[in-house]
């Protein structure tokens, strides 16, 4: 009977270590991403510049584009003209440019 109790304690201890390890790994992963670029879903991200964006930021840190007028030019390497889109990739806002 004593053997089973020790085994149960060991399972609980291992489970706690696993949970703490996952939490620590997540914290390290998030801390490697700047707050300005951190995200959980695509909706957390916006273009980093008002015009011809080639990068993305968290919407809380994005630019205010009120009153900004952009050219109708489709610049290469940007998200202009559906050449790419803003996405949350591995917890970081990025402009994903289509090949």
Residues 18 and 56 in one domain: no
- Kindly indicate the confidence band of residue 5, based on its pLDDT and cuts at 50, 70 and 90: low
CA-to-CA separations, 38 to 26, 35, 51, 76, 94, in angstroms, rounded: 13, 5, 21, 26, 10
Number of domains in the chain: 2
Q: Count of CB atoms within 10 A of residue 94's CB?
A: 19
Residue 94 sits in the same domain as residue 58: yes
The tens digit of pLDDT for each residue in 30-89 reads 556 688 999 999 999 999 999 999 999 999 999 999 999 999 999 999 999 999 999 999
Shared-domain flag, residues 15 and 40: no
- 56 and 10, same structural domain? no
Rg, the chain, Cα only: 22
Please tell me whether residues 45 and 81 are part of one structural domain. Answer: yes
The conformational region for residue 70 under phi > 0 = left, psi -120 to 50 = alpha, else beta, is beta
Note whether 53 and 18 are same-domain residues.
no
Those residues whose C-beta lies under 8 Å from the C-beta of residue 41, and which sit 6 or more positions away, are 88
What's the whole-model pTM score? 0.65
- pLDDT tier at 10, thresholds 50, 70, 90: confident
Q: Is 36 helix (H, G, I), strand (E, B) or coil?
A: helix
**Domain check: are 10 and 58 in the same one?**
no
| Residue 9 confidence class, pLDDT cut points 50, 70, 90 | confident
- Answer yes or no: do 39 and 28 share one domain: no
Residue numbers of the domain that contains 23:
1-32
Q: C-alpha angle with apex 39: 27 to 72, nearest 5 degrees?
A: 150
Q: Are 28 and 57 within one domain?
A: no
At residue 29, the pLDDT reads 56
- Residue 2 pLDDT class (50, 70, 90 cuts): low
Residues 73 and 50 in one domain: yes
Domain match, 60 and 95 both? yes
């Amino acid at each position: 009977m004593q053997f089973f109790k020790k085994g149960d304690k060991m399972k609980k201890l291992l489970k706690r270590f696993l949970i703490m390890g996952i939490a620590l790994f997540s914290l390290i992963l998030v801390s490697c991403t700047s707050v300005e670029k951190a995200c959980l879903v695509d909706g957390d991200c916006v273009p980093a510049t008002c015009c011809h964006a080639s990068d993305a930021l968290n919407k809380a840190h994005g630019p205010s584009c009120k009153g900004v007028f952009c050219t109708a030019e489709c610049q290469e390497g940007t998200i202009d003209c559906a050449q790419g889109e803003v996405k949350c990739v591995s917890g970081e806002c990025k402009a994903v440019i289509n090949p």
